[in-house]
């Protein structure tokens, strides 16, 4: 035991508080980190909104072009962009969830929402890929060659 040393330990949050975290964190450090993270997530959220709007415009153009040309390649790219749009939406939801404050039940907050959002996006892309491979194999096996030639 060290003699003559006094420790100034701030009090912990009340255990009886309804849904407050049960840990101590230096307010100045956590506030600075939280503010930086909030600014970064706000920028990311705004960029995702702009990119989502542009993606919708390109999806409409590619779907129209793919239907007119009866092109599986263009339609595949349009569906790929739809999966990208879904990923953007999942990312935006994850950012909103990750902003929530820690609680007793989730003492580290909702930061895992971003990881789960990424996992959901990957599963969505694999499902889409499986569907497109299935359609492509069907076309190869049935020898579908009915192309609409606009210059004839």
DSSP string, 97-127: HHTSPP-SSSTTTTTHHHHHHHHHHHHHHHH
pLDDT score, position 124: 85
d(CA 101, CA 61): 41
Of 88, 113, 87, nearest to 98 by C-alpha is 113
Question: pLDDT 10s per residue in the chain (152 long)?
Answer: 556 655 555 554 444 455 555 555 555 555 555 566 666 778 888 999 999 999 999 999 999 999 998 888 898 889 889 988 998 999 899 888 888 887 788 777 777 888 888 898 889 888 888 988 888 888 788 876 665 555 55
**pTM exceeds cut of 0.85:** no
Of 58, 124, 59, 62, nearest to 90 by C-alpha is 124
d(CA 70, CA 68): 6
pLDDT score, position 21: 54
pLDDT score, position 146: 60
């Amino acid at each position: 035991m060290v003699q003559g040393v006094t420790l100034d330990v701030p009090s912990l949050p009340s255990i009886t508080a309804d849904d407050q975290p049960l840990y101590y964190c230096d307010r100045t450090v956590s506030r600075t980190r939280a503010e930086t993270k909030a600014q970064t997530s706000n920028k990311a959220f705004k960029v995702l909104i702009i990119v989502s709007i542009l993606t919708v415009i390109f999806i409409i153009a590619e779907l129209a072009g793919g239907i007119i040309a009866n092109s599986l390649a263009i339609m595949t790219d349009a569906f790929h962009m739809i999966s990208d749009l879904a990923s953007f939406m999942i990312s935006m939801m994850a950012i909103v969830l990750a902003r929530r404050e820690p609680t007793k039940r989730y003492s580290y907050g909702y930061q895992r929402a971003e990881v789960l959002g990424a996992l959901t996006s990957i599963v969505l892309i694999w499902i889409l890929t499986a569907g497109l491979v299935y359609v492509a194999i069907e076309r190869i096996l049935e020898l579908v060659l009915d192309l609409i030639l606009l210059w004839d």
